[in-house]
Amino acid sequence: MLKSTGIPTKEDLQKIYPSAERLAKGPVAIIECFQRIPCNPCATACTRGAILPFQDINNQPQLDAEQCTGCALCVASCPGLAVFVVDMTYSEQEALIKLPYEYLPLPRVNTTVKALNRAGEVVGQGTVIRVQTPPAFDRTAVIHLAVAKTVAHEVRNIVVEDEANDA
């Protein structure tokens, strides 16, 4: 399925997803990188050593979830936009997703956006909590999005409505 659609299966995701116990402790990176390609910016960006050193630059990243603080440096550094942070402890009803975003216009804080799954289908709405765009992120913004916990493991992108076209 992954090779034909680009969408990982539940089995693919189970192999890389942190345990429910780890998710209950706070924010943690989710690395949805499934191909062997020469790439390691996520590992070099991680100052905590949570993304283990590569034995071969073609290997898939391996996360030590206990070392991860959910800082999102790896999110902005991934050229494949394959790293996300999920914080299931954000609130009673909502999870916080930190996701890479390379489109314009950037969403505004406190706006509601459509939340998309890996297939680009709308699975709910989210509220933009923060937009990070420091120069070190090299034009990849990191959007902090509050979403219902029921869709937190599905949301991987957003649709920002063009306010100029809404008038």
- The terminus-to-terminus CA distance of the chain in angstroms comes to 41
Read off the pLDDT of residues 33-58 as tens digits, 9 standing for 90 and up: 988 999 999 999 999 999 999 999 99
Domain borders along the chain are: 2-166
* pLDDT mean across residues, the chain: 91
pLDDT in the model for residue 116: 97
| Residue 130 β-bridge partners | 144
Is the CB of residue 35 less than 8 Å from the CB of residue 58?
Answer: no
pLDDT in the model for residue 1: 55
| Residue 92 β-bridge partners | none
State the pTM of this model: 0.90
In this prediction, the residues of the chain whose per-residue pLDDT falls under 50 are 164-167
Q: Which two tokens stand for residue 12?
A: 């693919």
Helix (H, G, I), strand (E, B) or coil at 21: helix
Residue 137 DSSP class: G
CB atoms within 10 A of CB 66: 10
Residue 115's contacts (CB-CB under 8 Å, 6 or more residues apart) are 122, 123, 124, 125, 126, 145, 147, 151, 155, 157, 158
